[in-house]
Amino acid sequence: MDTVKQFDLARLRVRDLNQYLHHELPGSGIERVEILNPDGNHSIAVGLDCDVAVDILGHAGYFIAGMNKLAAVTVHGNVGWSVAENIMSGSVRVKGHASESAGASGHGGLVVIEGDASSRCGISMKGCDIVVGGSVGHFSAFMAQAGTLVVCGDAGPNLGDSLYEATIYVRGRIHSLGADAREEEMQSADLERVSGLLAASGIDCDSREFKRVASARSLYHWNAEAHQEY
């Protein structure tokens, strides 16, 4: 039985593709789906709920692979806003660059951006791991509650603003930290964690070159005398 199925979005609507992925793919024996001519379309391969490999062969638009569960999605190009938004498990890999809010609100799984990610990468993430091979833009990991963001390049302004229990590791220059974020000393557990994520991502960097950023926890409780200055 053939275990690979192809879809050409030059001839098929995204709605029809997603209908197949949601209702016909599970239990079909198909192990890999190849999507041709994505051509910047939005919402490709959203809501997957089975263990399958999906290759999107070209550039894609907004909300690619959102709410992913179990699947391994690879985009062979660039993506627009909110790739892998609310990822639950599995993996989403972008072999190019990503626009704003990559991995937003992710609960689990692994997101890999091999190139650069724009602003708000990892915003409000809740347990996923994000590895960026290049740099990230301003307000990345804003209000990140749990999980790990690894940045192999530079980080833009206000990194980790209003950070909770997520941890950020940056190899390059940090433009500035946001409210309640602070740089801390790398420990052996940090080196092990970064090394493991780099290995899982296939990115060759030395974990000893990274800096750790975490929450100072001064925003955990309201202070009426702070006058909004933290």
pLDDT at 145: 97
* pLDDT > 70 in the chain, percent: 95
Contact at 8 Å (CB) between 125 and 143?
A: no
| 104's tokens | 């937003």
Q: Is the pLDDT score of 2 beyond 90? A: no
Q: How many domains does the chain have?
A: 1
Q: Is the pLDDT score of 226 beyond 90? A: no
Q: Is the pLDDT score of 209 beyond 90? A: yes
- Domain of residue 185 covers 4-218
Q: Is residue 228 part of a domain?
A: no
Reported as a single tens digit per residue, the pLDDT across 29-53 is 999 999 999 999 999 999 999 999 9
Reported as a single tens digit per residue, the pLDDT across 180-200 is 999 999 999 999 999 999 999
pLDDT at 222: 64
Reported as a single tens digit per residue, the pLDDT across 143-177 is 999 999 999 999 999 999 999 999 999 999 999 99
* Nearest CA among 42, 30, 36 for reference residue 10: 36
DSSP 135-183: -B-TTTTTT--EEEEEESS-B-TTBTTT--S-EEEESS-B--B-TTEEE
Q: Is residue 225 part of a domain?
A: no
| 48's tokens | 């997957």
pLDDT-based confidence at 218, cuts 50/70/90?
A: confident
Q: Is residue 17 part of a domain?
A: yes
Q: Is residue 229 part of a domain?
A: no
pLDDT at 176: 98
pLDDT at 219: 78
Q: Is residue 157 part of a domain?
A: yes
Reported as a single tens digit per residue, the pLDDT across 98-117 is 999 999 999 999 999 999 99
pLDDT-based confidence at 230, cuts 50/70/90?
A: low
Q: Is residue 226 part of a domain?
A: no
Q: Is residue 35 part of a domain?
A: yes
Contact at 8 Å (CB) between 144 and 129?
A: no
pLDDT at 81: 97
CATH number of residue 143's parent domain: 2.160.20
* Residue 5, Ramachandran bin (φ over 0: left; ψ between -120 and 50: alpha; else beta): beta
pLDDT at 150: 98
pLDDT at 134: 98
Q: Is residue 227 part of a domain?
A: no
Mean pLDDT of 60-77: 98
Model confidence, pTM: 0.95
